[in-house]
Chains A and B, each alone.
Chain A
Amino acid sequence: MASSQKRISKELAEVTTNPPEGIHVSLVDESNVHNWNIVMDGPEGSPYAGGKFKLLLVLPNDYPFKPPKINFKTRIWHPNVTFDEHGSMCIGILKPEAWKPSSKILSVLTATQQLLVEPVPDDAVETSAAEKFKNNRAQFNKEAQEYTKKYAK
């Protein structure tokens, strides 16, 4: 078994036996450890509370030397996630130049959860959401809740 698969299997075991709160992990296909389905609860205290967000985590063949890719499959109105079918997320830990093999998938998942609680508008990919988040927080929260109800059931 390639060393990348060994590492992924270990991390998968860690996440499934002792899952972080509000995160559920399963394999898309049992025979392939590289693609993970994630279901993330909208964190309490955020406009996403009550929603269940599906994410797809893809681990490259040269993991852990290249960062995993993570996308929201559920639409989410968030400054750091594109509001489209790709749901591409901008998160520092996953940038290729910042990625280190000592980062774990678990820390990627908790960082994602944290991003829902605290968006980073200065590093936004969805600029209109970022504008609202900065200038009209109430309006932003309202819209985010509406979209959560609409998409993230």
Chain B
Amino acid sequence: MFQPQPTPFYPFSSYGPPPVSSVPQLAQFHPAGPGDSVAPTMFADPIFTPTPVASDAGLSFHFHNTNNNTNPNNLPPRYKMSGQGVSDLEAQEELARNFQPDLQGPLVGEKKSSLAIAEEYAKADPIYVAKTTALPQKYSHYRPILGDGNCGWRAAGFSYFETLLRLGNQAQLEEEVARMISLNNFLTTVGGFEDWLFEDMVEETTSLLKDLAELMPTSPQAAADLLRQRFNDPNVSNAIVYHLRLLASSWLKGSVATYQGFIPDNLGVDGYRKNWLEPVDQEIDHLGMTLLIDVLLKPIGFSVEIVYLDRSEGTQVNSHIIQAQDSNGAPTNPGGPVIHLLYRPSHYDILYKDRPPIPLQAVAEMTRNPNIQVHRATNFTQHPSSIQSTPMGQFSQLDLNTLLSIPGFGLPSQPSHQGYASQYQSPIEQGYAASPISSISPISPGASSATTPSSTVLQPAFSAPPPPPASSSLTSPKLATPIATFPQSTTLPVHSHLPPPQRPTLTTHQLLAGDVPSPSSAGSYFRPSKYEWEAAADRAQEGPVQFLTSTFKNSHYNTAHYNNPNFQPEEWNPDGEEQITSRKRSS
């Protein structure tokens, strides 16, 4: 039927639409597509391993590649056509049917910085890039869950135990043991399951709860390790996951009226239980997640926030909180523990909002690590060594007076200035309100987690000394040197609160002033006294303040600069301009 031709576009031009069995079809069977629903049961679950192929970027790449390359001789061997259209199609279907996702890594991975997600999507389409870039500012960490079809169940189950651990209440863990055992009766009477089926699975759940309760008072770390170890033992992990499936299935059976309207495809309650809840490796859908939350988490006051990372419009991920509510829709346990789950089409991972204080050393280490540090900044023309080898992390906790010593970095020459904390709240960055700092500095967004606003503000400001032509200045090794030597010549007290002003050493001062010919350094040598500063800090809440130094404005640390990885064009705002001018007049 369809013979492979050396001329790339021949088949399409002469036969009209491409034959069913032509190459582009193959791409649709390619495993990379998370949203690909050719045969939901075959694709056990999309994988989001750190390999780039797993993302949507991988999918689009394959489409692109095969569409532009219809010459079969150029295709990888598995895409070659036999010349027999029908058997070709069969072969493709066979491929799709027998496709086993390449599942690698632990069932429940290590907690890591959520910057990794942004890296994973760095080459995806702009919506993903924008959303994943903004993600780490809200959720500092994430924990990948293996996409084996149980990820949603496992993510919620793991979070259940982990949150109990985090709360650190031994009595609550023991109560949970009792609750789980009492639910056995619910499984038999309502769910209609027999004891022999679930007793071993329930035992895994309860023994984990008991072991955690025992370990927790003496060593929370050992308890956390045990939890991860159990959840990575397939025997234990799958038993617990299946226990959760049975609970959700029974819960549906017991509250048919509540959920009936949400059952897809007219399956009916029994059909849904049989097709969606009870088969092993059948991924959780939204109803399943709701059921699980309702039976497992709501009764103990845990809320679940589901963060949707998809291609919907917007620059921020959408999220939805599921929590116990009273009849008026008000949460019954406001301020209770919240579990964050990251949802990507048919996959769940766990997100964390905690920002534990990162010790200075760790920050320095993190920023030295090129993977994290300049991954998003590879477009810059700077000499790689000048920035990668610079222990910028050590700057992250500079105290105020060091900043004040830099010409042009003192407060703008208005006595009524409103303080540091708000300096970055320019209109462009309002979108990043959660943590404006990390959006500015591509160097070490993670570092901002360690410090209080007052000291964090200084980090990007301090790393901004490059003179106006920012990128070219960074290529100059001459500049890199003073920055690198800076910490050695200054004392860098680590304070999270404002320290009393100190005179910086003169050497530092001259070093920078000499090497960085900033246009603003000549005129503005003004530095307010600590009394003025404190007064200004008190008024910090009064309103947004523009960052006024031209050094900053012209550097790529400014998000309005085209070299900034989070580039956002500056928009002219008539109101904003008026405010500024009026303030100037009033001062």
User: Which A residues fall within an 8 A CB radius of B?
Assistant: 2-4, 6-7, 10, 61-62, 65-66, 96-102
Contact = CB atoms under 8 A, between A and B. Distances in A.
Contacts of A7: 196, 200
B279 interface: yes
B236 A99 contact: no
Contact of B235 (A2, A99, A100): A2
Contacts of A62: 234-235, 238
A10 B279 CA distance: 22
A97 B41 contact: yes
Given A3-B200, A101-B197, A65 B242 contact: yes
Interface size class of B (residues with CB under 8 A): 20 to 34
28 contacts: A2-B235, A3-B200, A3-B201, A3-B235, A3-B239, A4-B235, A6-B200, A7-B196, A10-B196, A61-B235, A62-B235, A62-B238, A65-B242, A65-B280, A65-B281, A66-B280, A96-B281, A97-B41, A97-B279, A98-B279, A99-B280, A100-B274, A100-B278, A101-B197, A101-B242, A102-B193, A102-B194, A102-B278
Interface in B251-299: 274, 278-281
A127 B303 CA distance: 55
B203 A101 contact: no
B204 interface: yes
Contacts of B193: 102
A107 to B, nearest CB: 12
A102 B187 CA distance: 13
Interface of B: 41, 193-194, 196-197, 200-201, 203-204, 234-236, 238-239, 242, 274, 278-281
Given A4-B235, A61-B235, 18 more contacts: A3-B200, A3-B204, A3-B235, A3-B236, A3-B239, A62-B234, A62-B238, A65-B281, A97-B41, A98-B279, A100-B274, A100-B278, A100-B279, A100-B280, A101-B278, A101-B280, A102-B193, A102-B197
Contacts of A4: 235
Contacts of B201: 3
A44 B232 CA distance: 48
Contacts of B235: 2-4, 61-62
Contacts of B204: 3
Contact of A99 (B197, B242, B279): B279
Contacts of A10: 196
A12 to B, nearest CB: 13
